[in-house]
């Protein structure tokens, strides 16, 4: 059966993932596509409750393995309750973070090992990988400065980590780009937002031209 497409956005803190995801969602919706916007950890009630536990700034004593397992549990429930049904109904699913966050943050930066974290998460996702992962690459210092300047952005436990941790996360993502070159695409997020947005739109149009041509609603004018 024909299914939708699953696009995830990844990157360090302050990369602008949410802003770009929402802009892309608005564009696709305006063109007549059915879009599901979600995030990790979270997206549905159970996973949002797990998110509160993971990212609570008061939980500084959380063990790294506990953190990894909570992310995987949240991911599993999110998939079966929201992502899979949306894909089965031929939606375009745009997700703010997914498995690569666990591989970069817990696997690489926490030192638990990418392979071990991958094994935990393969059990959770049952081989449901994104069709495309957009890695928004930003210098960790610039990203953290953006967070400090953003009035409405939540400050979570990961934001409070030392700069060395965030540099390690960045190194983890660069490793993932090598491991998954067909799925992950690098986008320089240090630039002006309009430049980043234009590249992402062009990337999605090129990668999913066939799907986009077939699934636009007839009462919308195609470009």
Whether 15 has a binding-site annotation, put simply, is yes
Q: Specify the 3-state DSSP secondary structure of 13.
A: coil
Whether 209 has a binding-site annotation, put simply, is no
Whether 18 has a binding-site annotation, put simply, is yes
Whether 60 has a binding-site annotation, put simply, is no
- Tokens encoding 98: 């997914």
Whether 38 has a binding-site annotation, put simply, is no
Q: DSSP 3-state helix, strand, coil percentages of the chain (rounded to 5)?
A: 55, 15, 35
Rounded to 10 deg, the angle between the 163-179 and 140-149 helix axes is 120
Whether 12 has a binding-site annotation, put simply, is yes
DSSP string, 104-168: IIIIIISSS-HHHHHHHHHHHHTT---SEEEEEE--HHHHHHHHHH-SSS---TTTTS-HHHHHH
Whether 14 has a binding-site annotation, put simply, is yes
In angstroms, rounded to a whole number, what is the distance separating the alpha carbons of residues 96 and 219? 29
Whether 221 has a binding-site annotation, put simply, is no
Rounded to 10 deg, the angle between the 163-179 and 114-125 helix axes is 70
In angstroms, rounded to a whole number, what is the distance separating the alpha carbons of residues 3 and 96? 20
Could you tell me which residues are annotated as the binding site for ATP? 11-18
Could you tell me which residues are annotated as the binding site? 11-18
């Amino acid at each position: 059966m024909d299914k939708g497409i699953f696009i995830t956005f990844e990157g360090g803190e302050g990369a602008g993932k949410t802003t770009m995801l929402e802009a892309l969602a608005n564009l696709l919706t305006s063109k007549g596509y059915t879009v599901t916007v979600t995030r990790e950890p979270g997206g549905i009630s159970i996973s949002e409750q797990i998110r509160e536990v993971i990212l609570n700034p008061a939980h500084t004593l959380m063990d790294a393995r506990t953190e990894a397992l909570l992310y995987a549990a949240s991911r599993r429930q999110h998939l079966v309750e929201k992502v899979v049904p949306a894909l089965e109904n031929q939606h375009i699913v745009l997700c703010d973070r997914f498995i690569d966050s666990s591989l970069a943050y817990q696997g690489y930066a926490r030192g638990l090992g990418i392979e071990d974290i991958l094994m935990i998460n393969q059990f959770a996702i049952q081989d449901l990988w994104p069709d495309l992962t957009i890695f928004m690459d930003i210098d960790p210092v610039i990203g953290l400065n953006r967070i400090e300047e953003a009035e409405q952005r939540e400050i979570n436990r990961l934001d409070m980590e030392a700069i060395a941790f965030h540099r390690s996360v960045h190194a983890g993502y660069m490793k993932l780009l090598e491991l998954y070159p067909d799925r992950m695409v690098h986008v320089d997020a240090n630039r002006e937002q309009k430049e980043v947005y234009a590249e992402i739109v062009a990337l999605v149009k090129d990668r999913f031209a066939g799907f986009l041509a077939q699934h636009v609603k007839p009462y919308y004018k195609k470009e």
